[in-house]
Amino acid sequence: METHISCLFPELLAMIFGYLDVRDKGRAAQVCTAWRDAAYHKSVWRGVEAKLHLRRANPSLFPSLQARGIRRVQILSLRRSLSYVIQGMANIESLNLSGCYNLTDNGLGHAFVQEIGSLRALNLSLCKQITDSSLGRIAQYLKGLEVLELGGCSNITNTGLLLIAWGLQRLKSLNLRSCRHLSDVGIGHLAGMTRSAAEGCLGLEQLTLQDCQKLTDLSLKHISRGLTGLRLLNLSFCGGISDAGLLHLSHMGSLRSLNLRSCDNISDTGIMHLAMGSLRLSGLDVSFCDKVGDQSLAYIAQGLDGLKSLSLCSCHISDDGINRMVRQMHGLRTLNIGQCVRITDKGLELIAEHLSQLTGIDLYGCTRITKRGLERITQLPCLKVLNLGLWQMTESEK
């Protein structure tokens, strides 16, 4: 007896359609009535984010999304009112407005006029017209928010952070990249240092402060005191923090990932503070910190030997530093030492001998390595990613 796909139960068709990408799910729904019914089963669309260009009215759009159980939406271009989206998606869970340059406080204010309890994630990255006024609306009506992306919203000030600290107690992840007006006062609000005015976002697990140039070591003191559950902290390009600030972070037992890339005032002393504390870091990035050298690698081997990922690009390290580090770092999976021009084949041989679990290594711009060192590295049993970039073989090696 011959069996045809049309004989399958709708539940089985839905299970098969669930493995398709979004475009193919839509195509499957156009084949016939039976496939359309199966393709519209909510299990097929679980976790899918609808990507929309809102240019003209489409009465069937949001009913269609809701029928399929889609609750995550990204607006690619916004030429209609944002309230059109909010009214059409009653149970919206995630709203991504990243790059919607024409979104204003007025437009957002008209959209958020009552509590939206279902919304958990809001991305306003690069919505450059958004100010503290919008954060007031968000804090008032989106109290269930867990993820808030504000990267590049350069008009936000410490007042906006006070509003967030007042209204968004459930927040777990906050991105404030390049919010240039923020200072230690604002971080104090987030960390609950002004309890009389705002409780703070004490449940934060991820905080990105990249390129917030006004922050100093006082911000790190606030973070260490109030945000004790923080797991990821990105301080890259924060030129105002120093070694003394890292002393405050050195006892944050929950912290797992710390990014200090291009923090010009961080030196071997700061790495010593981190290593001598009670940190259990799995990821550390000190790339382009010009004052970090071989002594830092000795400190890392002594107190941060649980690292899985270590980035040291353009740091002043040599084979001697590699030798002092690798003997204690057997669990390291990713090592980025691009543009470390003092590293030679000897360093690569030490890495190949001791870091057997390494899955990725960046050697971009390491101009003193040769084919001999690379042959040793490529023998690593778990290696999957090898970035060479500017490396070139000499004529004799060719």
Say if 169 falls within a structural domain.
yes
Say if 248 falls within a structural domain.
no
Segment 44-73 mean pLDDT: 77
Cα 111 to Cα 86: distance, rounded to the nearest angstrom: 6
Same domain for 167 and 54, yes or no, is yes
Same domain for 312 and 260, yes or no, is yes
Same domain for 126 and 180, yes or no, is yes
Q: Burial code of 280-289, b = ≥16 C-beta within 10 A, e = fewer?
A: ebbbbbbbbb
- The pLDDT > 90 percentage for the chain reads 73
- pLDDT tens track for 251-282: 999 999 999 999 999 999 999 999 999 999 99
Q: What is the pLDDT of residue 35?
A: 72
Same domain for 169 and 280, yes or no, is no
Cα 111 to Cα 119: distance, rounded to the nearest angstrom: 13
* Domain end among 208, 241, 274: 241
Structural domain harbouring 10: 1-46
Same domain for 115 and 219, yes or no, is yes
Same domain for 297 and 204, yes or no, is no
Say if 247 falls within a structural domain.
no
Say if 246 falls within a structural domain.
no
Question: Domain total for the chain?
Answer: 3
Q: How confident is the model at residue 155 (pLDDT cuts 50, 70, 90)?
A: very high
CATH of the domain at 21: 1.20.1280
Averaged confidence pLDDT in the chain = 90
Same domain for 261 and 320, yes or no, is yes
Point out the least confidently predicted range of 124-133, 347-356, 387-396: 387-396
Say if 263 falls within a structural domain.
yes
CATH of the domain at 182: 3.80.10.10
Which of 286, 282, 225 lies closest to 255 in space, CA to CA? 282
The answer to whether 160 and 171 are in contact (CB under 8 A) is no
Same domain for 204 and 123, yes or no, is yes
Say if 374 falls within a structural domain.
yes
- pLDDT tens track for 288-315: 999 999 999 999 999 999 999 999 999 9
Segment 242-251 mean pLDDT: 97
- pLDDT tens track for 205-245: 999 999 999 999 999 999 999 999 999 999 999 999 999 99
Same domain for 227 and 343, yes or no, is no
Q: What is the pLDDT of residue 45?
A: 65
Cα 207 to Cα 314: distance, rounded to the nearest angstrom: 25
- pLDDT tens track for 323-334: 999 999 999 999
- The pLDDT > 70 percentage for the chain reads 92
